[in-house]
């Protein structure tokens, strides 16, 4: 039976939810009690974002944290809840960067943890869910991955392109260095002649 690229996302969600069920961890996060109103800030909100532990974003984040810290997913549940409650799906990009020591991630060379390098939103949302303008609904436009923003993961092609760019930069630097060296040589020669004459 042929499998599609999108089957891996279903498998990832099924594996994590099965582990959560086995561990007795509920798939829906209980909502925290509402915060007491702050009289000094009348615009403050006590609304908390609901977190669904059966979404692809949550399953991806908990796997990333568990793999990085070499622990079971049960130890990373509160951190994952907090991440998705605060930052949502786009928080996966920040998490990925943080796990790499804060370095920016180039998704052309590093496979996106959410979409696995396909560049599209793996949940295949509809235009109504994403909030696209009505005129785009039938245009067949892509819904880009919210983590890598559609970067084309092709390390072989981009590596060759970067090597060509670096070779050109190196050739330019050598040419400029030779030009500077010849200018220095001429200046040095002129200065020596002046000191010899005086």
Q: Give the CA radius of gyration of the chain.
A: 27
50 vs 84: CA distance, rounded Å: 9
Block mean pLDDT (10 aa), the chain, length 198: 72 92 86 71 70 92 94 92 89 92 87 90 81 71 86 81 83 80 76 68
Given this model, what pLDDT does residue 96 score? 93
**CA separation for the pair 176, 182 (Å, rounded):** 10
In 3D, which of 111, 190, 116, 121 has the Cα closest to residue 155?
111
Give the pTM: 0.69
Q: Sketch the domain layout of the chain as residue ranges.
A: 7-153, 155-198
For residue 195, what pLDDT is reported?
66
Task: Taking the CA atoms of 86, 91, 96 and 97 in sequence, report the sign of the dihedral they define.
Answer: negative
Contact of 167 with 175, CB cutoff 8 Å: no
pLDDT value for 2: 46
**Predicted local distance difference test score (pLDDT) of residue 45:** 66
What is the rounded distance in angstroms from the CA atom of residue 70 to the CA atom of residue 86?
24
């Amino acid at each position: 039976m042929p499998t599609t690229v999108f089957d891996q996302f279903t498998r990832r969600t099924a594996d994590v939810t099965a582990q959560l069920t086995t561990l007795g961890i509920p798939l829906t996060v209980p909502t925290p009690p509402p915060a007491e109103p702050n009289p000094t800030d009348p615009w403050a909100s006590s609304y908390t974002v609901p977190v669904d532990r059966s979404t692809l974003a949550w399953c991806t984040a908990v796997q990333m944290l568990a793999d990085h810290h070499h622990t079971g997913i049960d130890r990373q549940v509160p951190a994952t809840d907090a991440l998705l409650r605060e930052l949502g799906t786009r928080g996966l990009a920040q998490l990925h960067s943080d796990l790499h020591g804060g370095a920016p991630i180039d998704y052309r060379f590093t496979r996106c943890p959410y979409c696995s390098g396909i560049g599209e939103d793996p949940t295949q949302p509809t235009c109504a869910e994403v909030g696209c303008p009505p005129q785009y609904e039938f245009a067949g436009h892509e819904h880009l991955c919210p983590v890598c923003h559609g970067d084309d993961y092709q390390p072989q092609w981009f590596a060759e392109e970067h090597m060509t760019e670096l070779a050109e930069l190196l050739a330019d630097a050598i040419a400029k260095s030779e030009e500077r060296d010849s200018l220095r040589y001429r200046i040095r020669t002129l200065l020596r002649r002046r000191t010899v004459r005086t």
